[in-house]
Amino acid sequence: MTDLATPPQEHTHVPLQHPRLPGFATLLAAVVATAAAALLGLTLGWNLSGIVVLAIVLHLAGLTIWSRAVENARAATDRLMTSLVWVALLIAMIPLVSLVWKVVAEGAPAINGKFLTWSMRNVIGEPGGIYHAIVGTLLITLAATVISVPIGLLSAIYLVEYGDTSTLARWIRFLVDVMTGIPSIVAGLFAYALFSLLFGPGTQMGLGGGVALSLLMVPIVVRSAEEMLKLVPADLREASYALGVPKWRTIVKVVLPTAMAGIITGVTLAIARVIGETAPLLIICGSTDSVNFNLFGGQMASLPVFIYSSYTQPGSNPEILKSMAWGAALILIIIVLALNLVARVAGKFFAPKTGR
């Protein structure tokens, strides 16, 4: 039994809130770290990247130690991980910014009216144009789309409407998965081997590029079309059947128009993905200086192959051709971005209103 004569022990005061760093702590630590790093770096003669790295390290270390001292270990870890996550984001954005900057800085000066309307035929010692490459890219991509969209769309319709869980459908889904992983060079090799067999060894033509690119496009088209068709509510189909409409007409007149927005988005994204492929076109389409409108007639230039060969085989005017390569790279990126934008906008604009 406790002794009533002795007074109770003094309890240490336990606060309801443990001490926290002030709200501006992170900012303060960052500023101090930057200042310290700049001072140290400039005296040691380091360059900008070295100073930035040092600043980040100092900030991480400083903030963690400060937090450890004032708050507790768990809060310190939390602050450290938060900073690390933001540093990761920063590091991930650096190559993007530097790439876009480099392409715009090097490519924009090269672009002018002549650049976009001339080819490289008979052009020596002065900048020419990339018209032949643009035309080639458009034609080859058109050929790839014409081959892959009907096959892809019809296969997706089969998978969703007719096949469902049959063996054939399962095999098709599995093989579409396999095709998603084909390295682009393998698709190019296949197209080359096929055309060598059909037309003689070493045949190079624009259509071959279309075939190789369609091998890469079909899985994307099938995948996205399948998703879009699955999203069409069953009520629409059943209402149509209830009215006595045959199945094929239901699909063509009811299901497809409903899913059309998503399908267009999927196809546009697939085009944006293959329009930048170089390796298969390098093997099967070759390159040329002059404009070629004939998909069946010999080598055809394309933007990615133009960029590659202008940069790596410039000949006796490397500066001019390298600058043209950057200009062509800028045009290619603009085309890809435009396609992505069109895909998103078309998707939103044409989407059928769900519900009332």
Partner 1 sequence: MNRTALRRIAAPGIAALALGLALSACGAGNETGSTSDSSLSGTLKGAGSSAQESAMDAWRAGFQSDNSKVTVNYDPSGSGAGVEQFNAGALDFAGSDAALDPTKGEVDAAKKRCGANALEVPDYVSPIAVVYNLDGVDKLQLSAKTIGQIFDGKITKWDDPLIKNENPDAKLPGTAITPVHRSDESGTTKNFTDYLAQAGEGGWPHPADKVWPIQSGEAANGTSGVIAAVKAGAGSIGYADDSQVGDLSVASIKVGDAYAAPSADGAAKALEVSPVDTTRTKGDLAIKVDRTTTEAGAYPLMLTSYLIACPTYSGDKADLVKGFLKYVVSTAGQQKAADNAGSAPLPSKLQQQAEAIIDTIAAK
Partner 2 sequence: MTTVPTEAGSPKRRLGDLVFANTTRAAGVMILVALAGVAVFLTAEGLPGLGAHAQDLKGHANFLSYVAPLVFGTLLAAVIALAIAVPLALGVALSVSHYAPKSIAVVIGYLVDLLAAVPSVVYGLWGIGFLGPRLVPVYGWLADHLGFIPLFAGPASNTGRTILTASVVLAIMILPIITAISREIFVQTPRLNEEAALALGATRWEMIRLAVLPYGRSGIVSAAMLGLGRALGETMAVAMVLSASGVVTWNLISSTNPSTIAANVALTFQDATGLQRNALIASGLVLFVITFAVNFAARAIIERNDPGKAR
For the chain, the straight-line distance linking the first and the last C-alpha, in angstroms and rounded, comes to: 76
With contact defined as beta carbons under 8 Å apart, do 279 and 188 qualify?
Answer: yes
CB-facing half-sphere around the CA of 62: CA atoms within 13 A: 19
Residues near 285 by beta carbon (within 8 Å), at least 6 away in sequence:
136, 140, 204, 205, 206, 208, 209, 299, 300, 301, 302, 305
Please identify, among the stretches 112-120, 122-130, 236-244, 300-308, the one whose residues bind partner 2 according to the rule CB under 8 A. 300-308
Which of the listed partners (partner 1, partner 2, none) does 163 bind, with a CB threshold of 5 to 8 Å by partner kind?
partner 2
Among residues 64, 127, 131, 237, the one that binds partner 1 under rule CB under 8 A: 131
Q: Which amino acid is at 60?
A: L
Site string for partner 2, 12-51 (x = CB under 8 A): -------------------------------------x--
Distances (CA, A) of 307 to 96, 304, 330: 19, 5, 10
Q: Which is nearer to partner 1, 67 or 137 (CB)?
A: 137
Q: CA-CA distance, 269 to 266, in Å (whole number)?
A: 5
SS3 14: coil
Indicate whether 287 belongs to the interface with partner 1 (CB under 8 A): yes
With contact defined as beta carbons under 8 Å apart, do 301 and 136 qualify?
Answer: yes
Which of the listed partners (partner 1, partner 2, none) does 117 bind, with a CB threshold of 5 to 8 Å by partner kind?
partner 1
Indicate whether 65 belongs to the interface with partner 1 (CB under 8 A): no
Among residues 72, 112, 180, 312, the one that binds partner 1 under rule CB under 8 A: 312
Indicate whether 249 belongs to the interface with partner 1 (CB under 8 A): no
Task: State the minimum distance, in angstroms, from the CB of residue 130 to partner 2.
Answer: 14
Please identify, among the stretches 101-109, 172-180, 214-222, 260-268, the one whose residues bind partner 1 according to the rule CB under 8 A. 260-268
Q: CA-CA distance, 111 to 125, in Å (whole number)?
A: 17
C-alpha 72 chain-centroid distance: 42
Among residues 82, 98, 117, 180, the one that binds partner 1 under rule CB under 8 A: 117
Number of residues that bind partner 2 (CB under 8 A): 88
Q: What are phi and psi of 313, to 5 degrees?
A: -130, 60
Please identify, among the stretches 97-105, 118-126, 289-297, 345-353, the one whose residues bind partner 2 according to the rule CB under 8 A. 97-105
Q: Among 148, 109, 114, 147, which Cα is nearest to 131's?
A: 114
Q: Which residues bind partner 1 (CB under 8 A)?
A: 114, 117-119, 121-125, 128-129, 131-132, 138-139, 142, 145, 200-203, 257, 260-261, 264, 286-293, 297-299, 312-316, 318, 346, 349-350
